[in-house]
Amino acid sequence: MNDTATSIARAAAQFQRGDAAGAAQLLGPVLAAEPDNVRALVLMTHTQLALREPELAHEVAHRAVETAPESAEALSALSRALTGLERHDEAIAVAQAAARIEPENAYRHNRVAWALLGGGKRTVEAEHAARRAVELDPEEADFRITYAMVMKQLDYTDRARQALRDALALEPENAVAQHELATLDVVHRNPFALGRLARGASGLAGALRADPGQQASKFMLDVALQRFLVYAAIVLALLAYVGWRVLDFSVPGARLLAAAAALAPVGVAAYFVMRLDRPLRTYLINVLTYGRQRVAAVLAAVSIVLLLTATVAPRGWMGWLLGLAAAGGFAARLLTVSASNAHVRSAGIAVPRGLSGPALWIIMVGCAVIGTLCLMEASDLTLLGIGLGLYACAGAALATIIRRRRKVSSAS
């Protein structure tokens, strides 16, 4: 092995260890001596993309393609650089050209899938390319991850989850697969699945242990813990508000709801925390003592004290106590807004849109029950109209549930 080949091999090893800057330093002298070395140019393209220098990566990749226009490896590198520059149509065309040159190379089809994903509009074609890569090399975990990303963009989360599990079966320490699988648990739309949320937090912690430099996992771990705080605040605020409204006609009922509003968030917190390992519990405490979360935690604690006081306070005080507790709960919810879907999307992480399945069932049943009560007591046209409107809402929720199930069935 000559000096050039040795330097390229050392640079490739550096790059595999995550040291893109070190790899680029090793490749510099090689390209100064041999500016048309295609292998060095391709590797330099990847290092510059890792260093977030897409313009320089494109320049190097373009030189590689000019030197070897029939090199599928050079074309794939150029496609990656074009994706980095958000020139998606060109990236797709170049990736497809590389796949035509090497139709049995799984990496070429994998690059086509990522180029199509970058464009964001041709997800069906991306699914075909990702599936072809898996068929050509079923033992490569990265191809399973690509397929999972396509399924997530198509909103087929069950298939994405299974593909990520398959990737972890091949590479149990794959930090990317761990992160993506945990992210699916964190951004799910069921607010009652606290066990899944805790599982997602644990998975993100595992991804961070596998790759401590992965900032996306740290961000999503913060989101998971903040989302738990959101759910706890919502439970407190809603029960306190209902208790405040019930006070007008039932003092014992209001006291019972005040106790439930105080104890339910504590129960939710215990259920969630018991499913975290010890380091994550410590991290949760740190989240609670940082910035707006600290203010939200204080408001929640004050609200719980007010609710417990309302269980024994005189009738005249209860309205104020319950009202202030409800306001405190809603304020705590607003202060944890950084865990909302809007914040997650702003970080470039896709989340499911629309209401969750459980929420749709609750809306359907609730509207049907209340609508029936309105129609039973329909002594005037107002109640009749309200009842029929609630029935229409229940029907719309049911139609949405049926449409989603048919969509999943037709895709399987």
Q: At residue 380, does pLDDT exceed 70?
A: no
Cα–chain center distance at 274: 23
Q: Rounded to an integer, what distance in angstroms lies between the CA atom of residue 136 and that of residue 110?
A: 10
Q: How far is CA 24 from CA 4, 29, 76, 91, 403, in A?
A: 14, 9, 19, 23, 52
Q: What's residue 341's pLDDT?
A: 46
Tell me the H-state helices in 289-348.
291-310, 315-335, 341-346
Nearest to 141 by CA among 165, 123, 158: 165
Closest to 262 measured CA to CA, from 329, 316, 191 = 329
Long-range contacts of 34-37 (CB under 8 A, 24+ apart): 34/4, 35/63, 36/63, 36/67, 37/4, 37/8
pLDDT score recorded for residue 200: 77
Q: Where are the alpha helices (DSSP H) in 171-277?
A: 175-186, 194-210, 215-246, 251-273
Helix (H, G, I), strand (E, B) or coil at 412: coil
Q: Is 17 left (phi over 0), alpha (psi -120 to 50) or beta?
A: alpha
* pLDDT tens-place string over residues 283-339: 777 767 776 777 888 888 899 999 999 999 898 888 888 888 888 888 887 777 544
Whole-number pLDDT of residue 17: 81
Q: Is the pLDDT of residue 378 over 60?
A: no
The dihedral of CA 219, 222, 226, 227: what is its sign? positive
Q: What pLDDT is attached to residue 354?
A: 52
Which pLDDT score, from 0 to 100, does residue 206 have? 75
Could you read off the pLDDT of 106-161 as tens digits, one per residue?
999 999 999 998 877 788 889 999 999 999 999 999 999 999 999 988 888 889 98
pLDDT at 227 over 80: no
Residue 273, CA distances (Å) to 5, 61, 266, 268, 278 in order: 53, 49, 10, 9, 9
Using alpha carbons only, what angle is made at residue 309 by residues 308 and 315, rounded to the nearest 5 degrees?
Answer: 120
Degrees, nearest 5: CA angle 253-255-259: 115
Instruction: Give the chain's mean pLDDT.
Output: 81
CB 304 within 8 A of CB 265: yes
Contacts of 387 (CB under 8 A, 6+ apart): 371, 372, 373, 374, 375, 378
369: left (phi over 0), alpha (psi -120 to 50) or beta: alpha
Per-residue pLDDT, 2: 67
More confident residue, 8 or 212: 8
Q: Which residue has the higher pLDDT, 11 or 408?
A: 11
Buried b (16+ CB within 10 A) or exposed e, 289-304: eeeebeebbebbeebb
**Structure-block tokens of residue 16:** 């595999």
Give me the amino acid identity at 122. R
pLDDT > 70 in the chain, percent: 85
In the predicted model, is pLDDT for residue 164 greater than 50?
yes
Model confidence at 405, pLDDT cuts 50, 70, 90, reads low
CB 205 within 8 A of CB 277: yes
pTM over 0.85: no
How confident is the model over 64-119, as pLDDT tens digits?
A: 999 898 999 999 999 999 999 889 899 999 999 999 999 999 999 999 999 998 87
pLDDT digits (tens, 9 = 90+) for 334-365: 777 544 444 444 445 444 455 556 566 777 77
17-67 per-position pLDDT tens digit: 878 888 888 888 888 888 888 898 998 999 998 888 989 999 999 999 998
Regarding predicted confidence, which is higher, 222 or 319? 319
Is residue 232 very low, low, confident or very high in pLDDT (cuts 50, 70, 90)?
confident
Which of 121-130, 153-162, 207-216, 373-382 is predicted with the least confidence, judged by mean pLDDT? 373-382
C-alpha to C-alpha distance for 252 and 243, rounded to whole angstroms: 10
Alpha-carbon distance of 97 to 78, in angstroms, equals 11
The two structure tokens encoding residue 257: 């709801």
